[in-house]
Amino acid sequence: MKKKAIAELEFLPVLQDLLKPALVEKHGADKNLWFLTKGGVTQQPDYLATDSNGKTMQYEFQYAEKIKELDFVDFKVSKVGKKSKGVRYPHQDRQFFYVVKEGGRFAFIEPKWIMDEGKEAGVPAWGNRTAFRVPKSTFEGILKEGHGNLKAAITSTDNKNILLKAQTQYLLSDTNKFSCELQEAVDKDKLITIMPKTLEGFYRVCFLLERMDENPKQAGIWLIYLTSLFRKGISPDEIAMWMFAFDFLYFRCDTLQDNEIKTVNEILDKIREEIKSWQYQEGAFTRDPNISRMHETFAIIHVANLFEDIQQDFFVHYKSGRKVNRIFEILPDAAEIAAFIQNAAGTKS
């Protein structure tokens, strides 16, 4: 879901440039939130364009890494047309904005063209679900070469996906660490002590509840208490633990009360200031000379990822704070950070 959102937000200015002077904006149930709080997948197109006469057109965004190894390019049936009395008719109110990373190409495609050139058939990679399958040779004939801003959006999307993977690796590493502690409790007859009034203990409780998909009955009170455990100059792993617990509790609160809204607004400002205060150089964050720059950088990416989720939800539902326009925008230079991660891992292409 986050990868899709990264691409949609990075390509919004590209679509705006291609359709100018029309005004283009995000559209659908995830217009303001790249995640649906109650789950599910939006069925509405991704963008809405409005021309100077007020006429609108919706755009369904599709992004493919490459198509050279494909025999067909597939389109979800419901996004192409709607059935009426047993007959499927192409949508008239939308087009597809299709981008192929390979070669930096794109196309605007009308649903009618897809129905005319494609054939309804099962797609093995989709569990044999039906799609309109357009032969690749036919599809390639309508692709156009993109200009600089489209290729820049492709590069930016790649870089931010590297960051997304890094924060996932950080969380997985901590999960494995806690798993080993639990296993040692059995294998070596060790006692595990969780002291919930400490940040680490509080985090462990939230971690376990999250894995059990259980909600604290007093999530709002817990949220307020957690803010008292935040301090300036917090270490990389501490701020990552704090942010995980805060994210867990925030999204377990049905509706924040006035005092909770005020507290959340204040703490978000403090977190933003804390992230900005970290020493940053050539793609890496550092605060503690005894901790590797890679580890600290992964920790900050993890914090930034959760921070922006909360910030955007808070902006949408409580009309407070700041709007997130692009994912990982709080970080100083996504391209430079991605390059540091690849170089450190020896995977620079």
- For domain 2-146, the CATH class is alpha beta
Give the pLDDT confidence score for residue 40 in this predicted structure: 46
Residue-wise pLDDT tens digits, 164-184:
999 888 888 877 777 777 777
Distances from the Cα of 110 to the Cαs of 22, 72, 117, 299, in angstroms? 18, 17, 11, 44
Model pTM score: 0.89
- What DSSP string runs through 119-145? EEEEEGGGTTEEEEEEEHHHHHTT-EE
Q: In a 3-state reduction of DSSP, which class is residue 259? A: helix
Structure tokens at 165: 């993977």
H helix and E strand count, the chain: 11, 13
User: ∠ CA 262-241-160 to the nearest 5 degrees?
Assistant: 90
Compute the radius of gyration of the chain from its Cα atoms: 23
Distances from the Cα of 36 to the Cαs of 40, 144, 149, in angstroms? 7, 33, 29
Positions of CATH 3.40.1350.10 in the chain: 2-146
Average pLDDT value over all residues in the chain:
90
Residue-wise pLDDT tens digits, 304-328:
999 999 999 999 999 988 899 999 9
Does pLDDT of 38 surpass 60? no
Q: How far apart are CA 76 and CA 114, in angstroms?
A: 10
Q: Which residue carries 């109110």 as its tokens?
A: 93
> Which amino acid does the sequence have at 221?
I
The answer to whether 348 touches 342, Cβ cutoff 8 Å, is yes
